[in-house]
Amino acid sequence: MLLIDCPYCGQRPESEFTYGGEAHIARPPDPSALDDAAWTEFLYLRHNPKGPHAERWRHTHGCARFFNAVRDTRTDHFLATYKTGEPKPELPTPEKAR
């Protein structure tokens, strides 16, 4: 089980949280202006990286608030957590899997 650092509550076990998918995917401001390719991108295409992944989490069984995290998908090691609305932190790319 992962230990997740909620920006509001501190470190809590993963079972208190709900995963919310890739972060920083903004809802299109003018949906009717999108063509099929842009809709596909918004609805279905995800980065699915083998490495640092920006993602949403919700501290469901705690403060119940959403926040974002960067986690290395090769190790499940959390590189950062930050509040919703804040920009994704600039992180040095980890050299290799820890």
Partner 1 sequence: MPPNKPTFSALSLLRQAFGGHAGWEKQWRSPEPKAAYDAIIVGAGGHGLATAYYLAKEHGLRNIAVLEKGWLGGGNTGRNTTIIRSNYLFDESAAFYDHAVKLWEGLSQELNYNVMFSQRGVLMLAHTVHDIQVFKRHVHANRLNGIDNEWLTAEETKEFCPPISLDSGMRYPVLGAALQRRGGVARHDAVAWGYARGADAMGVDIIQNCEVTGILRDASGAVEGVETSRGTIRARKVGVVAAGHTSTVMAMAGVRMPLESYPLQALVSEPIKPIFPCVVMSNTIHAYISQSDKGELVIGAGTDAYVSYTQRGGLHITTHTLDAICELFPMFRRMRMLRNWGGIVDVTPDRSPIVAKTAVPGLYVNCGWGTGGFKATPGSGHLFAWTMAKDEPHRINAPFTIERFRDGYLIDEAAAAAVAH
For position 39 contacting partner 1 by CB under 8 A, the verdict is: yes
Which of 45, 83, 86, 91 touches partner 1 by CB under 8 A?
45
Strand partners, 68: 56, 82
Number of residues that bind partner 1 (CB under 8 A): 26
Let me know: does 81 contact 62? Beta carbons within 8 Å. no
Q: DSSP string covering 24-58, please?
A: --PPPSSGGG--HHHHHHHHT-----SSEEEEEEE
Which of 24, 40, 61, 83 touches partner 1 by CB under 8 A?
40
Q: State which residue, 40 or 84, has the beta carbon closest to partner 1.
A: 40
Q: State which residue, 7 or 17, has the beta carbon closest to partner 1.
A: 17
Distance, in Å, from the CA atom of 72 to the CA atom of 77, rounded to the nearest integer, reads 5
Residues lying near partner 1 in the complex (CB under 8 A) are found at: 1-2, 14-15, 18-19, 22, 36-37, 39-40, 43-50, 53, 55, 71, 73-76
